[in-house]
Amino acid sequence: MFASLDEARLTQEVRKSSFAPVVDANTRVLVLGSLPGERSLQASEYYAHPRNAFWRLVGEAIGVDVSAEEYGARLDILREHGIGLWDSIGSARRRGSLDTALRDIAPAPIAKLVNSLPELRAVAFNGIRSAQVARPQLVDHALALIDLPSSSPAYARMSFAQKASEWARLAEFTPQSCNDSRRRALDQA
């Protein structure tokens, strides 16, 4: 028998792991989630749940309808705009997809990745848990640290428009040529 209810619960929670980072030498802003949810893990794709607003929010920030593209093209668009993607948690135990259910967290080696990105100017945290886990690894780095409202449908305190307003800060760190293209697209609308 189990020594405690916590021990019994841990045996029912499965250890889940993050995906590989989506970055290259031109990454200027790194967006960190916490840990992929069930739908993402099943699909082996970041932000695969159709109600997660991540792709729409990034698209609003860079002026490209990213959510209309297939997954591979979405990642290409991020890289073209100097946006990298990873998670602050390397692995953890969790039943379901909620960050509040995360247990036995092993942080991802964020500082090591950041040190390998010569053009990196900012790290953005997609939600509170991401910031709680990753920020301590970045205290000695001269980077802008950006707290963003979670793109998860579970975070319903803000409307999409309010979230998009905050996520627009990503555009400050994308290459100028991409920002010029975004301005032209907005002018034509």
The residues annotated as belonging to the active site are: 52
Alpha helical stretches, state H, the chain:
5-12, 38-43, 54-62, 71-80, 110-115, 128-134, 160-167, 176-188
Question: What is the spatial distance between Cα 55 and Cα 49, in angstroms, rounded to a whole number?
Answer: 10
For residue 68, what is the enclosing H or E element?
none
Question: What is the spatial distance between Cα 28 and Cα 124, in angstroms, rounded to a whole number?
Answer: 11
Strand partners, 147: 125
The three-state DSSP-derived secondary structure of 115-162 is: HCCCCCCEEEEECHHHHHHHHHHHCCCCCEEEEECCCCCCCCCCCHHH
The number of CA neighbours under 13 Å toward the Cβ of 26 is: 11
Question: What is the spatial distance between Cα 186 and Cα 100, in angstroms, rounded to a whole number?
Answer: 38
Question: What is the spatial distance between Cα 83 and Cα 71, in angstroms, rounded to a whole number?
Answer: 15
